[in-house]
Structure 1
Amino acid sequence: MASLKEVRSRIQSVSSTQQITKAMKMVAAAKLRRAQDNIVRMRPYAQRLNAILANLTRAIDDDTVSEYGTVREVRRVLVIAITSDRGLAGAFNSNVFKGVAALVAQRYANLPAANISVMAIGKKANDYFARRGPLVGNYTHVFAQLSFDTVRVAAEQAMAGFRNGEYDEVMMVFNESRNVATQVVRTEQLLPLVPAEAPAAAVATSNVDYIFEPSKEDIVQTLIPQSLKIQLYKAVLESNASEHGARMTAMDKATENAGELLKSLKLTYNRTRQAAITTEILEIVGGAEALAAG
């Protein structure tokens, strides 16, 4: 049985850990609110932009959108893995790693590993995939100052690689925030842009008669790059909100577990203390009887 000093030390250690997890939960809750506000504002804009773009691309020749819409034989792929900069968020980051592995195994099983490139957004993804091969770009700083401009650079690099033929497909793997306690790994195709995969909302409004100024083609050529950047930015915002939700849930569970462990340690402490007192009493009684007998 552990000594009283050892049990007291463990109680103090667990108590300190519990205070830290409580504080981290409160910080995550505050950040989660801001992150949710950002993604809630972004979703309608991104969805409406995609709907308009889908309507426009149906009304023009395929040659106009071929720069980002050409479907080629898939020989080289870029996977954009979006994680967090820090851990202590449960399975948040490892789920993305598993999602990338599942994507490669299911969709690109016939491609050699050298033909699958990874762009890591977030320090955890950078650390994980850097051990497995060279990365495309360095975007460990994105979440330090999260904004459209910081994400735009990553999007432009992926778009340039697709235009130049370095990649035949560009896929995104990230966590989507459903609610505070639920994050779902999503795999979405960023490139090539295929009008046939437009959202249902776009199909429902495909007969809208637009007035184009200066021209239909010029507008589409402006909207397509903007839409692609918005889609990546939306994925990063989804991941950011999911991260804080996952960390809040993980820290809440850690705080509960610390509480349960404290109860067990205090019970052990009381039993050990009682056993020590009982032993001392028995020793005193035994000594008194020995003296009386002598």
Structure 2
Amino acid sequence: MMRILLFLGTNLAVILVASITLRLLGVDAYLSQNGMNMTGLLIFCFIFGMAGSVVSLFISKWMAKRSTGTVVIETPSNATEKWLLDTVAELARDAGIKTPEVGIFPAQQSNAFATGWKKDDALVAVSAGLLNRMKPEEIRAVLAHEIGHVANGDMVTLALIQGVLNTFVMFFARVVAQVVDSFLRKDDNGGLGFFGYFAVVIVAEIVFGLIASAIVAWFSRFREYRADAAGASLAGSGAMINALARLKAETQMPDQMPDTLTAFAITTGQSRRLMEKLFASHPPLDERIRALKEAAYRQ
């Protein structure tokens, strides 16, 4: 549950910082004094709502390397690293994208992630535990899954969706505050006042932010199925299924992935509670395995 709280907290923090900025710049006061200009409000919310997502996207590789301790393989120092580079290059060629940077991060749990601001400037990294315990064909399937994320443009799409949702969270929170202020106002007196208006905005943003986070999580789960399908296409359905089964067996191990990269990892364990399922970035591994088996049966 702590992972879910951190995920929601990060997203809401972006919105709240943008809201404080709007308040300090006098945008809220101007709109309140001069009537609700929907077009102007939407433009301001779009600028601030998208800013955090776009900046995060552009620095995603840098953040990933620093937060996970990923070491990019420039020149392979052993046979395993050379195989890793050659395999990623082969999979990227088959997927029709430029070969991403390849790295290894020091986590004992088998895991991997992909990030980057565009398809031809990405990073694919695997954990040391994955390299130590998985079979080569299973590692190849995991790499294919991550290449699938890159080829599908999932990093860009996720950032854009988050930015758009942030825009509407900020927008509708101010509409709600304006409606409440108008309801309480009599002639030129009453109303929420400066601090009351801001408090209503913050509460509304938290409520709408939770809804937006659930939508982002739903999309994240959807794209995991797409990446699994891409991994099965590139590395074979059997290998992809075996890799997910191996990951399932390790779900009880301590998770070494930073919460900021949860949505980009290949696994985050099994979610059983309702709230965890609603805000989980990944579907349960059993469901992912079942989807792959059903797709293989239909072929």
TM-score, with length taken from structure 2: 0.28
Higher RCO structure (Cα 8 Å, ≥6 apart): 1
TM-score, with length taken from structure 1: 0.28
